[in-house]
Amino acid sequence: MSKLHPPPPPPPPPPLAEGEEGTFIDYWLQQKMKQLPTSENNQSKQQWFSKQCLFPTYINEAAMFDTSPLLSLLHDHGIGSDDSALSHPSDKQTTIDEMRKIANLCANYKTRAIQNRKEFEYKRATVAKEKQVETKLPPKPPDHPEFTPLKPAENLLLAKIHGTNYNLCLARAVCPQRTNGLLSCWKSTDPRVVKLLAEQGLGHLMCMEEREAVERCIGLSVQRVMKDIIS
């Protein structure tokens, strides 16, 4: 596992115009880019959303790699949290400590995903209440200078973007060579081909060899950490 330096924090979002429609980049939800109105402000918002991504914006969900074994490891054993259960002193802690460092390194993306998910759920429930639809109103999230002013759909998009950024950050730290190979394959693929594959339900075929190599590498890394945990 090599040391990975996180990218600089994203720029602040452009101000929302009064009365502006809640348009946003819909490539993740619809598996392709939706045309936004041609106003200068919407173009600026589209560029800002695109800059949040650590991955090409035309990649659809089916082409993403599976990090569930790694996410389960981090969740089930508290790796990266302050109250980690893995606190027993041992000279076998090397891989565990490395995994904890990686989780902390990538935590910013996870936090942003959670914050935007909470914003979305609160705003969605608030709208339902206003329409007199019976629903349970979740706790109001603390005001955030970037996320609170956004439309609910924009919060949902950011939650998905930063959730994917978190997965990608973890993969690049655990398996840098394999993950960089997948990123290179993504970036070298014509977006029109990506769109065509997605429309035909074949998005999973895009860079499949490179994606499976990342998944195998992640699986082996999880196995090594589990051996340290149970030994």
Give the pLDDT confidence of 90-138 residue by residue, as tens digits.
545 677 788 888 999 999 999 999 999 999 999 999 998 888 888 888 9
CB 191 within 8 A of CB 155: no
Q: Which two three-digit tokens encode residue 190?
A: 């014509």
| Mean pLDDT score of the chain | 79
Can you tell me whether residue 174 is helix, strand or coil?
helix
What's the pLDDT band for 189 if we cut at 50, 70, 90? very high
Calpha distance 59→206 (Å, rounded): 9
CB 28 within 8 A of CB 160: yes
Q: Which two three-digit tokens encode residue 78?
A: 């508290």
Q: What is the mean pLDDT of residues 156-162?
A: 92
| The predicted structure's pLDDT at residue 82 | 47
Kindly tell me if the per-residue pLDDT of 229 is higher than 70.
Answer: yes
